[in-house]
């Protein structure tokens, strides 16, 4: 009877041991390294890089014809600045908007007054400038960047009679590309945090390099926290993109992603 009991105990013990070994292999996978395709790992980095860094800037030209030059009310021989007011058809915020005179690239004093949206009325735009030659059409470039706060003075001069000038807007354009501010956030990110947030496989590594195409020695981002071991299989994806500066200047760059 005892021999039978011992035999049963031995079988149960062996069964428990086998289950334990299977559990170890299933859960901890000793000596097993998961296989991830190169395209899978590279796509993860590219997708997250684009989503984390890309933004857009809107630009539109404004042309103003006028029938009367600015007056010299102070008698000092210098024409006074004047303010013109016009309906502004875009829902741009004042602090995120900059206006430049396209002739001399000077920053123009301006103010956007946000009207009551419930009344479905357009915003009002105020621009301050000097109007010196009626044969000349004033041309301005308006830039909207919702990630950048611009500073300028509000117009404080006399408002010009609206019958004496005629404004018209050009076609609004949108520029999309990489924000330097967003790149700096990646540059200052902890590597482990970035891997986790981007759902990149923990056993694998990556690096990102972004350089100016016209001057490869100029680097916008050199993010490499881990150096590949010798004989490691390194997979590379490179593509062209654009840095979009605060006021819409486009700079072609080369993006190089490495995973291993």
Q: Are residues 196 and 209 in the same domain?
A: yes
Task: Quote the pTM value.
Answer: 0.74
Could you tell me if residue 18 is inside a domain?
no
Q: Which domain holds residue 41?
A: 33-54+177-259
Domain finish residue from 154, 176, 198: 176
Question: What SS3 string covers the chain?
Answer: CHHHHHHHHHHHHHHHHHHHHHHHHHHHCCCCCCCCCHHHHHHHHHHHHHHHHEEEEEEEEEEEEECCCCCCCCCCCCCCCEEEEEEECCCCCHHHEEEEECCCCCECEEEEECCCHHHCCCEEEEEEECCCCCCCCEEEEEEECCCCCCCCCCCCCCECCHHHEEEEECCCEEEEEECHHHHHHHHCCCHHHHHHHCCCCCCCCEEEEEEECCCCCCEEEEECCCCCCCCCCCEEEEEEEEEECCCCCEEEEEEEEEEC
pLDDT of residue 158: 92
Predicted confidence pLDDT, tens digits, the chain (260 residues): 455 556 666 667 676 767 666 666 555 555 545 568 999 999 999 999 999 999 999 999 999 999 999 988 777 778 999 999 999 999 999 999 999 999 999 999 999 998 765 666 779 999 999 999 999 999 999 999 999 999 889 999 999 999 999 999 999 999 999 999 999 999 999 999 999 999 999 999 999 999 999 999 999 999 999 999 999 999 999 999 999 999 999 999 999 999 99
pLDDT of residue 209: 98
Could you tell me if residue 42 is inside a domain?
yes
Domain finish residue from 127, 143, 176: 176
Could you tell me if residue 223 is inside a domain?
yes
pLDDT of residue 8: 62
Q: Are residues 189 and 91 in the same domain?
A: no
CA distance 204 to 214: 32
Domain count of the fold of the chain: 2
Q: Do residues 68 and 131 make contact, with C-beta atoms less than 8 angstroms apart?
A: yes
């Amino acid at each position: 009877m005892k021999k039978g009991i011992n035999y049963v105990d031995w079988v149960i013990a062996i069964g428990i041991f086998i289950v334990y070994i299977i559990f170890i292999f299933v859960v901890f996978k000793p000596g097993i390294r998961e296989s991830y395709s190169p395209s899978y790992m590279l796509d993860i980095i590219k997708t997250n890089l684009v989503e984390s860094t890309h933004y857009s800037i809107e630009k539109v030209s404004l042309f103003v014809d006028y029938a009367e030059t600015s007056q010299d009310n102070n008698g000092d021989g210098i024409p006074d600045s004047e303010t013109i007011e016009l309906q502004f058809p875009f829902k741009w915020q004042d602090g995120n908007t900059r206006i430049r005179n396209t002739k001399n690239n000077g920053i123009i004093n301006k103010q956007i007054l946000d009207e009551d949206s419930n009344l479905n009325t357009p915003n009002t735009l105020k621009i301050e400038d000097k109007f010196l030659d009626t044969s000349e059409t004033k041309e301005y470039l308006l830039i909207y960047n919702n990630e950048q706060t611009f500073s300028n003075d509000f117009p404080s001069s006399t408002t010009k009679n609206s019958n004496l000038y005629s404004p018209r807007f050009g076609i609004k354009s949108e520029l999309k590309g990489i924000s330097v501010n967003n790149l700096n956030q990646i540059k200052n990110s902890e590597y482990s945090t970035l891997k986790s947030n981007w759902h990149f496989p923990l056993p694998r590594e990556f690096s990102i390099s972004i350089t100016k195409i016209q001057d490869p020695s100029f680097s916008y981002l050199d993010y490499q926290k881990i150096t590949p071991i010798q004989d490691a299989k390194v997979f590379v994806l490179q593509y062209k993109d654009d840095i979009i500066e605060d006021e819409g200047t486009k700079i072609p760059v080369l993006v190089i992603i490495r995973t291993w």
